[in-house]
Amino acid sequence: MNVNLVTFHQPTEHEAEAFRVLRTNLRFTNVDSPKKVILLSSAKQGAGKSTTISNLAITMAKYSLKTLLIDGDLRRPTIHELFDLRKNNGLTNYLVGNQEFSEFLKSVPDYPTLDILTSGIEPPEPSELLFSQKLKELITQAREDYDIILIDTPPVLGMSDTSIWATLADGIVLVIASNQSKIEEVKQAKEQLERTNVKILGTVLTKVKDNSYVDYYTKDR
């Protein structure tokens, strides 16, 4: 697996501990109404959202939570590269076919409670495909089968994909890159998400000096 998966390669290091803190915060956010389907996104590319969500998925699985990680970024999918998996036979194959989504799931060695649904073949119109009734059926079934569903989505600005995903989710976490993400862009992303009525659970700050991964998580109040 990719070296950026610190929760796998260096589970005792400070960076891995940051993901355990993130896991705990997400699990105990509003205990009366637990968030089961969670998106991770960013304002623009390059903030480290795919690395963040992949490490979070491993941490959830280590906690014995039955975890489903979905690569919902159909434009620039990355999850398959991080886990050394084949991209094809994934989400888009399910959406255009007649098979159950469980037939496209990929397992991860040493993590029996973690399943991954890669992006699949590249569609010509990702947004149109995401409007499919089959996507709603997938999320409905996944809610029954898993303790937590984590979805890596495209950057918010410049495309509608994440706003579509947001209508199916319980909450979203915005990933912000230190000294890279622009404040105005993050504000615009936040405003765009608020129009979908999705709950913004908080933020993850990445690429902090002396810490290439996650620095902290703050719950949105």
Kindly list the strands in the beta sheet with 67-71, ordered across the sheet, starting from the edge strand earlier in the chain: 106-108, 111-117, 67-71, 148-152, 37-42, 171-177, 200-208, 211-219
Q: How far apart are CA 75 and CA 68, in angstroms?
A: 20
Question: CA dihedral in degrees (94, 100, 104, 110; nearest 10)?
Answer: 150
Which sign, positive or negative, has the C-alpha torsion 106, 68, 181, 22?
Answer: negative
Query: What are 96-132's pLDDT values in tens digits?
Result: 999 999 999 999 988 999 999 999 999 989 999 999 9
- The reported pTM is 0.92
Domains and CATH numbers, the chain: 6-219 (3.40.50.300)
pLDDT value for 218 = 42
Query: What are 4-25's pLDDT values in tens digits?
Result: 898 988 887 888 998 999 998 8
User: What phi, psi does 143 have (nearest 5°)?
Assistant: -60, -35
The tens-digit pLDDT sequence of the chain (221 residues) is: 788 898 988 887 888 998 999 998 888 776 667 799 999 999 999 999 999 999 999 999 999 999 999 999 999 999 999 999 999 999 999 999 999 999 999 999 889 999 999 999 999 899 999 999 999 999 999 999 999 999 999 999 988 999 999 999 999 999 999 888 899 999 999 999 999 999 999 999 998 775 544 544 444 33
Q: What is the 3-state secondary structure (H, E, C) of the chain?
A: CCCCCHHHHCCCCHHHHHHHHHHHHHHCCCCCCCCCEEEEEECCCCCCHHHHHHHHHHHHHHCCCCEEEEECCCCCCCHHHHCCCCCCCCHHHHHHCCCCHHHHCEEECCEEEEEEECCCCCCCCHHHHHCCHHHHHHHHHHHHHCCEEEEECCCCCCCCHHHHHHCCCCEEEEEEECCCCCHHHHHHHHHHHHCCCCCEEEEEEEEECCEEEEEEEEECC
pLDDT value for 210 = 58
Per this entry, what is the length of the chain?
221
pLDDT value for 188 = 96
Confirm if 200 and 174 have CB atoms less than 8 A apart.
yes
